Amino acid sequence: MKEILIRSYQFNLKYAHELVADLDDSMMATSAGKGFENHPAFTLGHLVTAAALTVKYLGGAYELKPKWEELFRRTGPGDPKLPDSNSYLYPKKEELLAELSNQHRLVEDMIMTLEEKRFEQPIIWRFSDHMPTLGGLLFFMCISHENMHLGQLAAWRRAMELPSALANL
């Protein structure tokens, strides 16, 4: 189970890097229009906060750079806060990718040392009714949640008339 989870998580990280590989910093906070408000800078930063939260659920410290919580954390559907299009508010692409890679490594290291029986441990979180165990939370956060947002970024690329990033993997 660990290997499947980690390999999928690693693939998501490679895909995240590829989705922004051809973007310069000036494009990172560009909205592609209504329905595409989650621009690349926000999407990467949001995935950083999600990975940091996953570290916390695994028993580690929730550590983010100053102001990242305010910039990138959202409570999900219905949260009225939309990403700002002012690129000066956001870290540069390389910093976002470096921190996403760092948080991924922390999650992966913690999963590797996780006792198998902990996957079945009950956990209280937002989607406990659907995924009541730590394993369910991990598969959601490492695979489903990341894929939702990477899919948004892929759709953003199409709206910006950019080529497929998935084709490069």
Task: Give the pLDDT score at 36.
Answer: 87
pTM comes to 0.94
Q: Which domains does the chain possess?
A: 2-168 (1.20.120.450)
| Residue 3 amino acid letter | E
Task: Give the pLDDT score at 75.
Answer: 67
Task: Give the pLDDT score at 94.
Answer: 98
Cβ-based burial of 59 (10 A; exposed 0-12, middle 13-18, buried ≥19): exposed
How wide is the angle at C-alpha 162 spanned by C-alphas 32 and 19, nearest 5°? Answer: 90
* Alpha-carbon span 8 to 108, nearest angstrom: 11
What are the distances in angstroms from CA 104 to CA 69, 88, 109?
A: 17, 25, 9
Question: What end-to-end distance do the CA atoms of the chain give, in Å?
Answer: 24
Residue-by-residue pLDDT tens, the chain, 169 positions: 899 999 999 999 999 999 999 999 989 999 898 888 899 999 999 999 999 999 999 999 999 988 998 888 776 667 767 788 888 899 999 999 999 999 999 999 999 999 999 999 999 999 999 999 999 999 999 999 999 999 999 999 999 999 999 999 9
Q: Are 73 and 49 spatial neighbours (Cβ–Cβ below 8 Å)?
A: yes
Task: Give the pLDDT score at 33.
Answer: 86
